[in-house]
Amino acid sequence: MIRGLLLIPALAVSLIAAASGQIATSLKLGKKQHLAGEPVIATVTITNHAGRELLFSSDGRFQWLDFIVKTSNGNTVSSRGKTVFGPMKIGAGESLSREVDLSKHFQLDSPGNYSVAAVIHFPGDRSKGSSTNRVFFNQSPGREYWSQEVGISGSKTKTRKFRLLNFSGDQRSHLYAQVVDGRTGTFLSTFRLGDVLMLRKPLATVDLQQRMHVLFLATPTMWVHCIINTDGRLVDRTIHQRAAKGDPRLLTFGDGTVRVTNSIPYDPEAASKERSKIRKTSDRPNVGF
> 91 pLDDT exceeds 90?
yes
CATH code for the part of the protein at 23-139: 2.60.40.2970
How far is the C-alpha of 188 from the C-alpha of 158, rounded, in Å?
13
How far is the C-alpha of 229 from the C-alpha of 239, rounded, in Å?
19
> 72 pLDDT exceeds 60?
yes
231 or 5, higher pLDDT: 231
* Residues 50-70, mean pLDDT to the nearest whole number: 90
- This prediction has a pTM of 0.76
Q: Tell me the backbone φ, ψ of residue 122, rounded to 5 degrees.
A: -60, 145
pLDDT over 90 percentage in the chain? 67
pLDDT at 9: 41
How far is the C-alpha of 247 from the C-alpha of 245, rounded, in Å?
7
What is the domain partition of the chain in residue ranges? 23-139, 142-272
Q: Confidence class of residue 79 from pLDDT cuts 50, 70 and 90?
A: very high
pLDDT at 17: 41
Contact between residue 143 and residue 118 where contact means Cβ atoms under 8 Å apart: no
pLDDT at 287: 44
HEC string of 182-195? CCCCCEEEEEEEEE
Contact between residue 102 and residue 81 where contact means Cβ atoms under 8 Å apart: no
**Structure confidence by residue, pLDDT tens digits, 96-147:** 999 999 999 999 988 999 999 999 998 887 777 889 999 999 999 899 999 9
Q: Confidence class of residue 195 from pLDDT cuts 50, 70 and 90?
A: very high
pLDDT at 270: 53
pLDDT at 273: 57
